[in-house]
Chain A
Amino acid sequence: MYSRFYLSVLLISGLLVLAYLGFTAYDSFMPEWMSYQFEYRDYLTKNAKDDAAKKLARALPLEFTQVYLGEMNKVDRCTNCHMGVENPLMENTRLPYKKHSGNYLVNHPVDKFGCTVCHEGQGSATNTKEAHGKGHDTHWDTPILPLAYVQSSCAQCHDTNMLSKSGGDKVAKGEALFMEKGCKGCHKLKGVGGDLGKPLDKVGRQPIAYFTMKHIVGEHTVFNWLKQHFDDPRAIAPDSAMKVKLGEGEADLLTTYMLTLRPDEKPKSYRRINFNEPPVQNGETLYKSYCSACHGDGKKSLYDEVFKRTVPAIMNPSLLKVMDDTNLDKILKEGRTGTQMTAWKKTAAGLTDEQIKEIVTYMAANRPADRPEPFRLAEFKGDLSHGKEVYDLRCAVCHGTNGKGGEDMLGVSLRSKVVQKMIDPEVLAITVRDGRADTPMPAFGSDPFGMSKQDIADVVAYIKDFQSGGGK
């Protein structure tokens, strides 16, 4: 009799270990990339032009290859599958061994640049799923960039001037859109911009944990978040106050531009940025960058669905008529507390005094030559109760009973701090008298309303009295 029990355990376990070793050996010696290398070699052999080429193709070693980029402390193993990426014979074949499109690789040889420099993804991985960063379990903050956004990587080393001319048009267009659509009115970039939205520095390289991915359709990636957020901000982040009006394809361009905003991580020897030509900025471009998102073209006041308030028409001639440059300058610099209007001075949103002056000059171009007829409010003594009568009759329709404005009201809230503290009663009176052209605010001083100067003075007194709690 033998120790049957233990010997059986030994035998069965030993067989299991052997079977396991067999499986692992097979897995290790036939990795995913090996089959692509086989196909590649077959293709080359089949399509060889002459015998010498055929012989060379047959001798092609099937082996593990990698591009080590010392300066970037990085290793790319993409060429294990993407073997023909530099081979012009592979122009019309299929992925993964297809030749790289365009002539990008002429100036960016794979052995110096690798692949993930532009395409992102996980270059050190050796199977598709991990290399491309697909699926949440690969836990990778930089999944492979879809081709629509891949140009965003160019901006790590090239400036927009260069990109707009050759091969980086999407970045250039995206940047132009970014400046035009007034994104910086709410978002800070390099310390300049409003603070209603989140700063955008390095947003292209932020880990996905920074983003609310709950409502994202498809892969939870930063670019999907950006794209879908541009398509419909409130579908992705329900409490977002962002306004976007984008045309066809513009969301992709903006996403591309957003993805260019990465930390400066590439070694200097790789970078080709020409810093000598700062982008041209004048009053108009500045206005577009910083003001247009809320104020539009500034000619008409707009009721803002997201802010739930009316945004004033700041380039309206009749407004400019009552506001001189000093006044505008002050408002731009200090902002308007209690509203979304940002303080743009250097220490807050980061615009220089010169830039603010440029914007003021640009706005003032619309100012009519004639100054408004002064009102001389001091000559009248306001009567509160009469003022209330006039207010309820004329103003409450748009500005709300007791001036509280509010949702769905055409007029701004007259109880707001801005109106109460920062607007001179004289300006208020002139506005009531002359109205604001191109906005719903009519001129009450003339027909068909025909309010007398006394009426106006009374209503101004009534409105100003809100400050001390009157009119409730």
Chain B
Amino acid sequence: MNETDQTGLSKFAGNVKGLANTFIGSVFRNGKPTSDKTRASAVFNNFFLHIQGVKTHINTLRPSYTLGLGLITFFLLVIVVASGVFLMVYYNPSVENAYQSVKNINQVVFAGKVSRNVHKWAGEGMIVFLFLHMARVFFTGSYKAGREFNWVVGIVLLVLTFALNLSGYLLPWDQLSYWALVIVANIMQSPKELTDSLGLTKYFDVGTYTGNLFLGGSIPTKESLNRVYLFHVMVLPMVIYVVVGLHFWRIRKDGGMTKPDLFNTKASDMGIMVQPKKSGGIFPTHKTYGLMELARGKTPAVDKDVENTVMSWPNLLIAELAVLMFTLAGTLIYSYYMDAPLKEFANPLIPENPAKAPWYFLGLQELLSYSAFMGGTGLPGLALLGLALIPYLDREQDNVGVWFTSKMGKRIALESMVISIIVIIAMLAFAVNFGWLRNWFPEIPQLVITFVNPGTIWVGFMMLWSLCTIRRTGSTRMGAMALFVMFLVSYLILTYFATDMRGPNWDFYWSKSQWPIH
């Protein structure tokens, strides 16, 4: 009895002594990642890391290939979510208090202004980097070879990012957000223009429904603020987490990052890899050949890693940490110099002149000024559909993972860029100088304007040009290239045009500095 008691107690004492080690050991089951085997298991046994491969291709690590754009976008999302939670602590989503609570965040809350600026700029940065990432994926042909659906997922992420940014824009309940809310509500109900001119509104009033869905009424009220807040902090974030997860998972399942078929390591690759000493140092290496690194390999060879891959731990993780820190530093520094705008308290009786949507929608607002339906629903819908269908309409599998595919690709991209710049500027200049159909034929039916306006003509031109390119080059990839370049250029130019050159009353001015101030 006595003896067993003592043994039990000493066992217990031993357990207490080893508590720290056993606890840590139970959390990190692999021990220190000192060999390739333990490094591999460090990645795939870790919930947070296992979405990455155990081994990473050198091409993926090359900054000149991915430019880190997708990762930057993701880290911006992380920053946005974190800062958004902080803002929620002090933000009060009611018409009476929203504005003052935002002022409080700006004025007294510790680091409140920073949080708000970071939240704002990281959110808008997501749009910028999402477009850049999309361009990178497109120009390296990375939507091909099994990655078609992930491209579509990316388009969904684009839409979600737009929606998140927009809903956040409306929360401070100042003049900017109120009138942007009004404009967006009108964009939402733009299908009405089409149903009106077709005489269908009586039976099928989808425009009013979507407008009401968004506003909770016909004008922006506290009901609208509630809805927008709900969308912004709950519905859309939840959806975007799931879709981002899906996007990442598909990257892995679709075969990882694309890489050129003919891949050779370069001397400069040494700068992006960890090449540990055989012993000692903080990344010691001891080569073992575990099953996990042989499983996918075709030509295992001593002293040469499988198919130009290196261990993800620590190579990829260091790269990711560096990108995270880079993103954080960039956001913070940008936020230090640029304050998120906040204007006077919302006044439903005094419209901002010009009342503008947030900048990322200004391209649409320019099209909207020709036809509400086309600018608000028709053309953006068409553009998104077109983008989503690109991988299914261009199925050439050559030169995937090579920037611009080929020399011809570079030429086509450049050519399309020049052509689209010329055409779109010429068209805007025409519309500004001579007006549009209604200026010449005041009695013209709305339906004609809906379908014949600078926006539709531009889209028609893009499609035609793309088809011509396919015919000329005999390559669908080239056609897609032309279309995509033209899409990007028109988004850029329209956005710039509507931001700077459209002043009060949507009149044309050469620059913002010429706007008459009231």
Contacts and interface: CB of A to CB of B under 8 A. Distances in A.
A–B direct touch in complex (beta carbons closer than 8 A) = yes
Interface stretch (A123-131, A174-182, A264-272, A373-381): A123-131
B145 interface: no
Interface string B323-355: 101101110110010000011110100100000
B302 interface: no
B321 interface: yes
B325 A3 contact: no
B272 interface: yes
B517 A126 contact: no
Contacts of B283: 2
18 contacts: A1-B273, A3-B315, A6-B272, A9-B323, A9-B325, A10-B318, A13-B329, A16-B333, A20-B332, A64-B108, A73-B97, A124-B103, A125-B103, A130-B107, A139-B175, A140-B344, A141-B344, A214-B518
Given A14-B325, A139-B342, A7 B114 contact: no
Question: Size range of the interface on A?
Answer: 35 or more
Contact of A209 (B96, B272, B330, B347): B347
A377 to B, nearest CB: 55
B415 to A, nearest CB: 34
Given A20-B332, A124-B107, A207-B344, A73 B96 contact: yes
Interface in B287-323: 314-315, 318-319, 321-323
Given A16-B329, A17-B329, A2 B275 contact: yes
Interface string B240-264: 0000000000000000000000000
A69 to B, nearest CB: 13
Given A17-B328, A141-B345, 11 more contacts: A3-B318, A9-B325, A12-B329, A16-B329, A20-B333, A73-B97, A124-B107, A124-B108, A125-B107, A130-B107, A139-B175
Contact of A13 (B271, B326, B344): B326
Nearest to A14: B325
Interface in B351-399: none
Interface in A1-31: 1-7, 9-10, 12-14, 16-17, 20, 23-24, 28
Contacts of B111: 24, 28
B322 to A, nearest CB: 4
Contacts of A209: 347, 350, 518
Interface residues of B, number: 43
Contacts of B97: 73
Contacts of A139: 174-175, 342-344
Given A3-B273, A3-B274, A9-B322, A23 B336 contact: yes
Contacts of B329: 12-14, 16-17, 20
B270 interface: yes
Give the top 4 A-B pairs by smallest Cβ distance, nearest first. Answer: A13-B325, A10-B322, A16-B329, A13-B329
A45 B104 CA distance: 33
B63 interface: yes
B323 to A, nearest CB: 8
Contact of B322 (A6, A73, A124, A213): A6
Nearest to B275: A1
A14 B333 CA distance: 12
Interface string B107-121: 110110010000000
A20 B336 contact: yes
B89 to A, nearest CB: 16
A146 to B, nearest CB: 20
Nearest to A140: B344
Contact of A210 (B319, B323, B350): B350
Contacts of B345: 141
B475 interface: no
Given A140-B344, A214-B518, A207 B350 contact: yes
B104 A214 contact: no
B100 interface: yes
B108 A126 contact: yes
B94 to A, nearest CB: 11
Contact of A5 (B174, B272, B333, B347): B272
Contacts of B314: 3
B336 A2 contact: no
A212 interface: yes
Contact of B107 (A20, A126, A212): A126
Contacts of A16: 329, 332-333
A99 interface: no
A333 interface: no
A7 B63 CA distance: 13
Contacts of A12: 329
Contacts of A20: 329, 332-333, 336
Most buried by A among B107, B322, B343: B322
Contacts of B518: 209, 212-214
Interface in B133-191: 174-175
Given A5-B272, A20-B329, A28-B110, A13 B322 contact: yes
A10 B110 CA distance: 27
B333 A3 contact: no
A2 B350 CA distance: 61
A464 interface: no
Contacts of A367: none
A326 B202 CA distance: 58
B271 A5 contact: yes
B232 to A, nearest CB: 23
A13 B326 CA distance: 5
Contacts of A17: 325, 328-329, 332
Contacts of A4: 271-272
Contacts of B174: 139
Interface in A109-159: 122, 124-126, 130, 139-141
A20 B345 CA distance: 31
A10 B343 CA distance: 37
A122 B344 CA distance: 12
Given A10-B318, A13-B322, A2 B110 contact: no
A77 interface: yes
A214 B516 CA distance: 9
B135 to A, nearest CB: 22
B332 to A, nearest CB: 5
A141 B332 CA distance: 31
Nearest to A136: B517
A7 B344 contact: no
A3 B319 contact: yes
A336 to B, nearest CB: 33
Contacts of A7: 318, 322
A73 B94 CA distance: 13
Nearest to B63: A5
B332 A2 contact: no
Nearest to B343: A139
A87 to B, nearest CB: 24
A139 B347 CA distance: 13
A251 to B, nearest CB: 23
Contacts of A5: 63, 271-272
A7 B318 CA distance: 7
B64 to A, nearest CB: 11
A204 to B, nearest CB: 16
A382 B117 CA distance: 85
A130 B108 CA distance: 12
Contacts of B323: 9
A3 B114 contact: no
Contacts of A13: 322, 325-326, 328-330
A92 to B, nearest CB: 31
Contacts of B321: 6, 10
Most buried by A among B96, B100, B319, B329: B329
Contacts of A214: 517-518
A173 B435 CA distance: 56
Most buried by B among A6, A10, A124: A6
Contact of B325 (A1, A10, A23): A10
Contacts of B104: 124
A6 B271 CA distance: 8
Interface string A392-415: 000000000000000000000000
